[in-house]
Each structure stands twice: as structure tokens, then as C-alpha cells.
Homo-oligomer: A and B are copies of this chain.
């Protein structure tokens, strides 16, 4: 299998009151705060049309993750059976990409306020997409 390496350029960064993984809930819907995404100013045109109330998927790079992990107890609950990371949402996985469905609170230039978002302060953002409605999601 010929598989070439892929280089991502972060498009921005998360600014959040959450400072480390221990503080962060497993999912945004589990009590995460609002956060700010500072987009690279040169990519501002890519936000055209985004407004308060829009539902987006934020794709992050979970930079504090362990890329060597292949199996885990879901949600860190050791009473649950050891499960392949590809059947979980664990941040520890070979390519630790995070998917976060958020609501846009406010857009000011290249700064997007969104929430709730469980990613910690300093997390690189690699993509934003409109969320799809219904079972055709994500």
C-alpha cells in the first residue's frame, strides 16, 4: 500500500478558558465553555457568509494526544471493554483530529466566537465546515 505523508497547515488556533485535558469534558455538549477561534488573517475570505447562529464542524489537531494508542476503554471508563480507537472518540489515536459541532456566537473580522467547545487553549484548528442536518451528518 503506497501511502504518502500529508502536511496540514493550521488555519487558526483555539483560545479557551480550558487549559489542559484534565479540565476538558469529553464532548462540547457535556458542559464545555464557549471559545474563540483566531483564524489566520490571510484566510478571512474563507469565512464569507458565516453569521451568528450557524452550525459548524470545527476540525482540530489534538496536539497533546498520544499517537501510539490503538485500543482504549471508552470515556476512560475501565468497566467498559477495551475497544479499538477507531470505534471511539478518544483523542489518543494515530492522527489525532478532533471533530466539534459548534454554534457560531459572533464573527468579528478573522475572529470567530463559537460554543460549546471542549478543545483546550492553544489547540490548532485545521478546518471549518458547515454542519449537515439530520442523519446525513456529520
Instruction: Give the distance in Å from the alpha carbon of A132 to the alpha carbon of B12 in the complex.
Output: 25
User: Smallest CB–CB gap between A66 and chain B, Å?
Assistant: 13
**Could you tell me if A128 and B1 are in contact, using CB atoms closer than 8 angstroms?**
no
A27-B132 contact, Cβ under 8 Å, with A10-B6, A49-B81, A86-B56: yes
| Number of A interface residues in the complex (CB < 8 A) | 58
**Could you tell me if B48 and A99 are in contact, using CB atoms closer than 8 angstroms?**
no
**Could you tell me if B5 and A87 are in contact, using CB atoms closer than 8 angstroms?**
no
**Could you tell me if A49 and B84 are in contact, using CB atoms closer than 8 angstroms?**
yes
Residues on B with C-beta less than 8 A from A138 are 57, 99, 101, 131, 137-138
| Any B CB within 8 A of the CB of A7 | yes
Which of B5, B89, B124, B130 is close to A8, meaning CB atoms less than 8 Å apart?
B5
Proximity bits, A71-91, B CB within 8 Å = 1, else 0: 100000000011111111100
**Could you tell me if B3 and A40 are in contact, using CB atoms closer than 8 angstroms?**
yes
A1-B40 contact, Cβ under 8 Å, with A48-B84, A86-B50, A97-B97: yes
